[in-house]
Structure 1
Amino acid sequence: MARWSTGPRRRAVATAAAVTATAAAFGVLGAGAAVAKAPAASAAPAVTRAAIDPALTAGRGATVPFAEQEAEHATTNGTVIGPGRDAYTLPAEASGRSAVTLKPGQYVEFTLPSAANAINVRYSIPDAPAGGGLTSPLKVGVGGATRTMTLTSQYAWLYNLYPFSNDPGADILHPDYWVTECSCVPQDTTPAPVFAKPFRPNHFYDEQRLLLGRTYKAGQKVRLTVPAGAATTTIDLLDSQLVAPPKIDLLAANVLLFGADPTGRRDSAGAIEKAVAFAQRSHLKVYIPPGTYQVDRHIIVDHVTIEGAGSWYTIIKGHQVDLATPAPDGSVHTGVGFYGKDAAQGGSSDVHLSGFAIQGDVRERIDTDQVNGIGGALSNSTIDGLYIQHTKVGMWFDGPMTNLKITNNVIVDQIADGINFHTGVTRSSISNNFLRNTGDDALALWSEKTEDVGNTIDHNTVQTPVLANGIALYGGSDNTVADNLIADPIREGSAIQVGSRFGAEPFTGKLAITGNTTVRAGTYELNWNIGLGAIWFYALEKNIDADIQVTGDHFLDSTYNAIMLVSDFPVKDLYSITGVHFKDIQVDGTGTSVLSARTAGGATFQNVDARNVGAVGVNNCGSFNFTPAGSEFAVTDLGGNDGGGTTGPWLAPWELPNTITCDDRPAVVPPPPPTTW
């Protein structure tokens, strides 16, 4: 196991490309990525969840108002790319690890599975040669009418090492970092050699919504065509939806009465602030009617309810603005966002935000910047039905704070996290939200300095986090992660991570991870040169020894292991992982093992059923001391552990309790697609 460098906030070492960066930068597939012509005709519309049969995810993930259809299942005369899971390639970042690439004149055609008056297209177009993005048209034909969407890559295409660059010609950002770009793992950090430019392009996709102007029936066709002279365009998927009419609230402080401009030509921040102040005095709600409102700074909210007409109609849009001097918190920019007061100032309370979109203009990652969609500290508050795009983090909260409920939101195309409860957030919940294409952990509880306690993350859908994890837990007490659907993490992370890292307080009390489904999870960690598990326990800074119950989870089509418990090599004899209990688990397909143990400690297993396992069921390396007494990690069989794969039963008697079965980097056997158990 190699060394890991965490950096000031997030990981400071990026993984190695499995294909050349130059090829990926121009949309060329690397070795091993499949390319095929799609059939000229398709069967009935294939509606998926996380690119698999919805029957496999029943009861898990968010209930959403749209139908997801993968482009590779639609009718096209373009080229199907993938499936492929190698980072820094277009297939790897696509939902389901496959998409359709269209040259000018080519199309992909979807059949509406139900009535719809709105669509959302997830796509990728090339970057400008010098970076900064470009725009390109896409024709949308439906019911005899044709509209044009203007696609952009201005919010895509990052390069280089963390925290990344927008310049495809940039030299290595950190020449002193260990940059793994070969099949070997050097014993010592060495200066980075010269690499092809652009180096490690990533974050290829973006998405765009379109109201169609009328309702179309189930069975009608939506054809996306790349016109002559346009850029080569990769279509990942289409979401179709029947959007309700705009909500009207006459008994509220309407921002138009205070001078807000629904055309977006004039800045409306001052008008919205006046409406908020009036509503606070008059005990009214604030209503923001349909329109696009330019807001280039934070709106501070406290004891107020702000409602829009619906996230398709009320759009709060802002530029990223340079600050004349850095703010006390280190920010060098500001931008659109609704913020509670700082926790140090007592925070805000009784804030209720619903029914509007926040669209930012963030194109680079600066960790000190407060350019998030929602921020500050909000207690006894609710956030419901928002659409947040192109901010740094969708929602980032710095506690202490309590009793915040986040429900029914869509957060896409973020430079960093989706939602992060940071420092002393208690008795709060994140429920029934949909997140796609975050640039870091999609959902996180980060107990830095003060524990996050008694929180629940449930019934959320997370797709394609480009970096890090779907759901990450860094310390805390008595938290619950339940009934979520997490698919397709791309690099340096897993679907679910339980990590002692980033200066987090220890795990205490009980942690319940129950009823979740992961799909195509577990990335290749090239800093260590190994594959991660779909669920990943990581003891880097402290022991992990709380009561951790992993119950009823389904791990589907795991790229490497289903379960990994690991300590970093330099601290392998200092920290261990104990108190983890796996029960009533289904593992359907692993590229390698069911369990990979690379730490001291132990775990119990009961009614863990597995099939299509690619390697030895238990890959037990312990702390790599290989003692005569066996591995330092104990596997306790509580019964009912059935099934296996190519090497026999996944939990064989000879493996118990601590047989050394260490294959440091086992060969990967791609499993068949998951099916109903």
Structure 2
Amino acid sequence: MSVTRRARLRTRLPAALAAAACAALLAALPAAGPAQAAAPAHPAAATGEATAAAGADLPFVTQEAEAAEHNGTVIGPDYTQGTVASEASGRRAVRLASGQRVSFTLTAPANAVTVACNIPDGASGTLSVYVNGQKLDRPLDVTSRYSYFDAPWIAGAKTHHFFSHARLLLGRDLSAGDTVTLQADPGDTAGPYVVDTADFEQVADPAEAPAGALDVTSRGADPTGVADSTQAFTQAVAEGRGGVVWIPPGTYRLTQPVYLENVTLRGAGSWYSTVLSSRFVNQGESPGNVHLADFAVIGDVTQRVDSNPDNFVNGSLGPDSSVSGMWLQHLKVGLWLTGTNDGLRVEDNRILDMAADGLNLNGNANGIVVRNNYVRNTGDDALAMWSLPALNHDSTFEHNTVVQPNLANGIAIYGGRDITVRDNEVRDTNALGSGLAISNQAFLQPFFPLAGTITVAGNTLVRAGALNPNWNHPMSALRIDSYNHPVEAEVRISDTTILDSPWSAIQFVSGGGQGLAIGNVTIDGARIENVGTVALQAETTGRATLRNVTATGVGVAGVYNCPYPSGLGPLDLVDGGGNSGLDGQWTDCGTWPQPGEDPGEPDPGRNLAAHRPVTVSSHTDVYSGSLAVDGDAASYWESANNSFPQSLTVDLGQQFEVGRLVLRLPPSAAWQSRTQTLTIQGGATADALTELVPQRTYAFDPAAGNQVTQALPDGTQVRYLRLTFTANTGWPAAQLSELEAYLS
């Protein structure tokens, strides 16, 4: 499968930086691309299964509420950001009104349950629990306190983070075949309840303290959680250096972070030893040899404030440290790692309900292994490496399971040398991210681009990829992005499984809109099943070799190959053999294909000028040229005052036979009638336009909607349209709220 196509212009959309926890930036959004793509109305049905080797080896079994016995209402599937169903596992869940229930039949022994649940904003309360029909004395406590986040700094982003996790020890050992029922009884007044999943597990008895360990209660720590235990923990970890500090079963409240060096801090198990703290560790450097294991840290972070160190670990644990067996919840970030952490191992942890990232390595991330972790419902990248302000190298993300990252990616690698991402599973990305991103986006300087060999092997991506609501830009399940630097590293992607992607499967993009090349990419072995639009979404130049890539259930076409800027050659897709299902190309580079759309001729009713690049001779204040193609008739472009002529030029992205134009001013009656005098030109290139309509006056009347229509000569083939204004009777400037162009 060798693809050769002439380059065509795509819309450059402004790249957005999302603020990242404890820095001033968020997860990145690709910039270039046609706008106004709609979310898939009917995503492909899930038919494939994740590969058994991918993901974490988890101590629990997850059951989906919609697959259980219930008398509630199934919501979803829905991929539209801002809806509760869009954030559910599998994009479906069960809503329970008063008196309704969902009943799970166990498939393995269990004595504990963790429920992902949504209730209305501002509500808190309980949900009754029954075991084999018998009501437990203790209900499940649920709250919306850690839900309903907003991100006003991201244009287009809506309220999100709807689900939160609640856990309960059932007080008895259950066997396969037993039932656990969640029911909205009369005393449960926090509903309606939306139940997504229930995780059932057999929790071991509390561990015993290691011989010689220093018990925090011996230094005054209060296991009831009433008194502040900060001083007791501080004293214990200072006295216990070189040994083990023990956290016995109980709940401990800390109001200040602790400093750790050369110490092991261990609990009786993450279901038994709980620390209530929103800032557990906050330190710039540590001599290292710090080991944190087998307890829970649960915060009280109800909003994301990037300048606050509201993290389990903020900063450095030092070299040769480890974090294992932890339960981290309701923090801003699980681990925000800066400074020196060489040789760190982060494994066997649960990271839930973060306001921002699950784990993020910021430079000096050398020889780090992050494995066998379960990360769900983060508000930014679930797992990420940023190669700044120092070079990350020889670090690995492996055998992790990521579910429902909000507003960013499942796993993201931003720069670095010799990085490995293997055998991970990412499911149900939402809003602004891909399942897996390999990127050269330089958030800050100094930044170290991708180098050496980047190994991406054995990963499974399920319902990954999204429609970015900021710029209406589709993002694939797997993204390679030459954002600020060409991709010159050897990127080796192998044995990838991509299932039920709502948009596209694999994307090559230069998100900064510079068209930087992506080279030295090899994809060897990829199984793509059910994809909403295209299997390959290529948006920049470069070269990629494809071997043994098979695609079935492709919604529109095998390939979209539309580089930006327009002078670039398309991505050279080299057929290495064994490929299938990549036939057919999307030919209209002026717009995104919609899931299931016929890749034929452009829709004659589509406004070809909508959200296209605009150049103006001048503008006044905030009334920029882009407002004349934004689809909002209430906003408008206004040129510099008292200076004619003024011009507006729009690039349609490719040549079309344009039949008519519609010119609009704001329809408000506050706009008085006026006439504007202008000339219309068009052509294939911006510097060689011909006159299409000679100078004439156009009357804009609020009583008639403040719009006029101009037919163009038959057979008019144009890519660029220019309006040149020479007079306006209503205001001493050129004014236009919308320029619309149609085929007929």
Q: TM-score range by the shorter chain?
A: 0.7 to 0.9
Q: Aligned-pair distance for 1:540?
A: 2.2
Q: Identify which of 25, 43, 47 aligns with 1:9.
A: 25
Aligned counterpart in structure 1 of residue 124 of structure 2, from 135, 158, 168: 135
Equivalent residues of 2:62, 2:199 under 8 A apart: yes
Cα RMSD (Å):
2.5
Secondary structure at 1:209's aligned position in 2?
strand
Equivalents in 2 of 1:389, 1:61: separation in Å?
20
Q: What SS does structure 2 have at the residue aligned with 1:450?
A: coil
CA distance in 2, matches of 1:207, 1:255: 28
- Cα separation, 2, equivalents of 1:499 and 1:491: 18
CA distance in 1, matches of 2:384, 2:371: 13
Q: Please tell me whether the aligned partners of residues 525 and 532 of structure 1 are also in contact (alpha carbons under 8 angstroms).
A: yes
Q: Distance in 2 between matches of 1:529 and 1:74?
A: 35
- Distance in 2 between residues matched to 1:312 and 1:53, nearest whole Å: 35
1:105 alignment partner, SS class: coil
| Cα 1:605–1:14 shift into 2, 3 Å | closer
| Aligned counterpart in structure 2 of residue 376 of structure 1, from 315, 318, 321 | 315
The verdict on how the C-alpha distance between 1:591 and 1:33 changes in structure 2, with shifts beyond 3 A counting, is closer
Displacement of 1:230 in angstroms is: 3.6
- 1:669 alignment counterpart: 596
Cα distance in structure 1, aligned partners of 2:293 and 2:124: 31
Give the match for residue 468 of structure 1.
408
Counterpart of 1:360 in structure 2 is 299
Letter in 2 for 1:114: A
456, 459, 464: which one pairs with 2:396?
456
Equivalent pair of 2:119/2:190 in contact (CA under 8 Å): no
* C-alpha deviation, 1:539, in angstroms: 2.2
Letter in 2 for 1:287: W
Match of 1:416 in 2: 356
1:17: how far off? 12
Q: Is residue 552 from structure 1 mapped to residue 563 from structure 2 by the alignment?
A: no
Cα distance, 1:600 vs structure 2 = 1.4
Whole-angstrom CA distance in 2 between matches of 1:256 and 1:53: 53
User: Which is bigger in relative contact order (C-alpha 8 A, separation at least 6)?
Assistant: 2
Partner Cα separation in structure 2 for residue 494 and residue 485 of structure 1: 13
Identity percentage of aligned residues: 37
State the secondary structure of the residue aligned to 1:299. Answer: coil
Aligned length: 568
Q: Find 1:428's aligned residue among 347, 368, 371.
A: 368
Q: 1:122 maps to which residue?
A: 116
Q: Give the conservation status (yes or no) of the 8 Å contact 1:292–1:316.
A: yes
- Greater Cα shift, 285-294 or 147-156: 147-156
SS in 1 for 2:419: strand
- Residue 238 of structure 1 is aligned with which of 174, 198, 211? 198
Do the aligned partners of 2:219 and 2:232 also contact (CA within 8 Å) in 1?
yes
Give the partner amino acid of 2:297.
I
- Asked if residue 157 in structure 1 is aligned to residue 148 in structure 2, the reply is yes
Q: Structure 1 residue 98 and structure 2 residue 103: aligned?
A: no
- What's the offset of the Cα at 1:250? 4.8
Alignment partner of 2:572 out of 613, 616, 634: 634
User: Which residue of 105, 109, 121 corresponds with 1:111?
Assistant: 105
Structure 1 CA distance for aligned equivalents of residues 314 and 159 of structure 2: 29
**Change in 2 beyond 3 A, CA 1:377/1:54:** farther
Q: Aligned pair in 2 of structure 1 residues 18, 91: CA closer, same or farther (>3 Å)?
A: farther
Per the alignment, residue 674 of structure 1 pairs with: none
User: Relative to 1, partners in 2 of residues 1:18 and 1:372: Cα closer, same or farther, differing over 3 Å?
Assistant: farther
What is the match of residue 292 of structure 1?
A: 251
Distance (Å, rounded) in 2 between the aligned partners of 1:568 and 1:285 = 48
Specify every segment of 5 or more residues in structure 1 that has no aligned partner in the other structure, as ranges. Answer: 20-29, 35-50, 129-133, 164-178, 181-198, 319-334, 645-649, 671-677
- The equivalent residue for 1:206 is 164
Partner of 2:235: helix, strand, or coil? helix
CA distance, structure 1, for counterparts of residue 381 and residue 190 of structure 2: 34
CA distance in 2, matches of 1:86, 1:202: 11
Matched, 1:619 2:560: yes
Output aligned runs, 1:523-538, within 5 Å.
Answer: 523-538=466-481
Partner amino acid for 2:144? S
How far the C-alpha of 1:54 sits from its partner, in A, is: 9.9
Distance 1:17 1:223, change over 3 A: farther
SS in structure 2 of the partner of residue 150 of structure 1:
strand
Does residue 60 (structure 1) correspond to residue 57 (structure 2)? The answer is no
Q: 1:44 matched to which residue of 2?
A: none
The residue that corresponds to 1:588 in the other structure is: 529
Q: Is the 8 A contact 2:431 2:469 kept in 1?
A: no
Deviation at 1:247, TM superposition (A): 0.2
**TM-score (structure 2 length as normaliser):** 0.73
Could you tell me which amino acid in structure 2 is paired with residue 416 of structure 1? A
- Secondary structure of the residue aligned to 2:534 is coil
Please say if residues 394 and 414 of structure 1, whose CA atoms lie closer than 8 Å, have aligned partners that are also in contact.
yes
Q: Report the structure number with the largest CA radius of gyration.
A: 2
TM-score, normalised with respect to structure 1:
0.80
Residue 254 (structure 1) aligns with: 215
CA deviations 1:534-571 (Å, max 9, x no partner) are 01122221111211001111111111111011123642
2:255 is paired with a residue whose SS is coil
- Corresponding residue SS for 1:300: coil
Q: Which residue matches 2:135?
A: 145
Shift of 1:425: 0.9
8 Å contact from structure 2 (residues 30, 512) kept in 1? no
CA distance in 2 between counterparts of 1:555 and 1:211 reads 36
Q: Does residue 266 of structure 1 match 2:266?
A: no
Q: Which residue is equivalent to 2:436?
A: 496
* AA in 1 matched with 2:64: E
Q: Deviations over 1:362-406 (max 9, x none)?
A: 111111211101232121011110000001101110023300001
**Alpha-carbon distance between aligned partners in 2 of 1:583 and 1:254, rounded to the nearest angstrom:** 53
**For residue 520 of structure 2, what is the amino acid of its counterpart?**
G
Deviation, structure 1 residue 669: 2.5
CA distance in 1, matches of 2:41, 2:596: 14
Counterpart residue type for residue 253 of structure 1 = L
- Cα distance in 1 for partners of 2:570, 2:529 equals 28
Structure 2 letter corresponding to 1:72: E
The answer (yes or no) to whether the contact 1:260–1:293 under 8 Å persists in 2 is yes
Aligned equivalents of 1:632, 1:53: Cα separation in 2 = 33
Contact map agreement 2:92 2:196 (CA 8 A) in 1: yes
Partner of 2:708: none
Within 5 Å, which residues of 2 pair with 1:24-63?
56-63=50-57
SS for the counterpart of 2:542 is: strand
Question: What residue number does 1:42 align with?
Answer: none
Conserved in 2, the CA contact under 8 Å of 1:17 and 1:200? no
3-state DSSP of counterpart to 2:205: coil
Give 1:522's aligned amino acid. G
How many Å apart are 1:304 and its aligned residue?
A: 0.2
What does residue 465 of structure 2 align with?
A: 522
For the 8 Å contact 2:40–2:594, the answer to whether it is kept is no
- Is 2:505–2:535's contact at 8 Å kept on the other side of the alignment? yes
Deviations for 1:217-267, whole angstroms, at most 9, x for unmatched residues? 211111101122442110001001100000011521011111111000001
Aligned-residue offset at 1:149:
1.9
Q: Distance in 2 between matches of 1:370 and 1:560?
A: 36
1:275 aligns with 2:236: yes
- Separation in structure 2 between the aligned mates of residue 452 and residue 5 of structure 1, nearest angstrom: 24
Instruction: Sort the Cα spacing of 1:515 and 1:14 in 2 relative to 1 into closer, same or farther, 3 A.
Output: closer
Report the Cα offset of residue 577 of structure 1: 1.3
- How far does residue 58 in structure 1 lie from its aligned partner after superposition? 0.1
| Letter matched to residue 359 of structure 2 | I
How far apart are residue 358 of structure 1 and its match?
A: 0.3
Return the letter of the residue paired with 1:459.
Answer: H
Q: What SS class does the counterpart of residue 240 from structure 2 fall into?
A: helix
Query: What's the secondary structure of 1:610's corresponding residue?
Result: strand
| Distance in structure 2 (CA, Å) of the matches to 1:13 and 1:482 | 24
SS at 1:394's partner residue? Answer: strand
Match of 1:78 in 2: 72
Give secondary structure in 2 for the equivalent of 1:240.
Answer: strand
Letter in 1 for 2:593: P
Does residue 351 of structure 1 match 2:310? no
Q: Which residue of 2 aligns with 1:189?
A: none
1:562 lines up with 2:505 in the alignment: yes
Partner of 2:272: 313
The one-letter code sitting in structure 1 at the alignment partner of 2:145 is Q
Greater Cα offset, 537-546 or 487-496: 537-546
State the partner residue of 1:609. Answer: 550
